[in-house]
Structure 1
Amino acid sequence: MIRDKIMTAFEHDSLRTYSQEDVQHILQLAIARQANAQNQEFSYEQILEIAGELQISPDAVQAAQQDWLAQQTEVKQRQAFDIYRRSKFKKRLGNYAIINSFFLVADFIGGGTLSWSLYIILSCGLFITLDIWNTFLSKGEDYELAFQKWNRQHQIKQTLNTIINKWFKALFISST
Structure 2
Amino acid sequence: MTAFESNSLRSYSQEEVQQILQLAIARQTHDHNQEFSYQQIIEIAAELQISPEIVKSAEQDWLGQQNEVQQRKAFEVYRWSKFKKRLSNYTIVNIFLLLMDLIGGNTLSWSLYILLFCSLALVLDIWNTFQTKGEEYETAFQKWNRKHQIKQTINTVLNKWFKTWQA
1:90 to 78, 84, 102: 84
Q: Percent identity?
A: 67
Q: Is the counterpart of residue 14 in structure 1 residue 8 in structure 2?
A: yes
- CA apart distance, 1:71: 0.8
Q: Is the counterpart of residue 104 in structure 1 residue 98 in structure 2?
A: yes
**Aligned-partner Cα distance in 1 for 2:19–2:149:** 34
Structure 2 counterpart of 1:155: 149
Q: Is the counterpart of residue 44 in structure 1 residue 47 in structure 2?
A: no
**Aligned-partner Cα distance in 1 for 2:41–2:76:** 32
**Aligned-partner Cα distance in 2 for 1:90–1:126:** 16
Consecutive unaligned residues of structure 1, counting only runs of 5 or more, are none
1:55 to 49, 52, 76: 49
Q: Is the counterpart of residue 166 in structure 1 residue 153 in structure 2?
A: no
SS of the aligned residue for 2:35 comes to coil
2:75 to 78, 81, 87: 81
**Aligned-partner Cα distance in 1 for 2:103–2:80:** 34
- CA apart distance, 1:13: 4.6
> Residue 168 and residue 38 in structure 1: after superposition, are their counterparts in 2 closer, same or farther (change >3 A)?
closer
**Aligned-partner Cα distance in 2 for 1:129–1:34:** 49
Structure 2 counterpart of 1:119: 113
**Aligned-partner Cα distance in 1 for 2:151–2:53:** 34
- Give the AA of the match of 1:160: I
Q: Deviations over 1:106-147 (max 9, x none)?
A: 110111011111111111111111111111121111111111
> Residue 80 and residue 38 in structure 1: after superposition, are their counterparts in 2 closer, same or farther (change >3 A)?
closer
Range moving further from structure 2, 25-34 or 142-151: 25-34
TM superposition outliers: structure 1 runs of 4+ over 3 Å: 10-14
**Aligned-partner Cα distance in 2 for 1:105–1:85:** 30
> Cα RMSD between the aligned structures?
1.8
Number of residue pairs aligned between Structure 1 and Structure 2: 166
**Aligned-partner Cα distance in 2 for 1:32–1:44:** 17
Consecutive unaligned residues of structure 2, counting only runs of 5 or more, are none
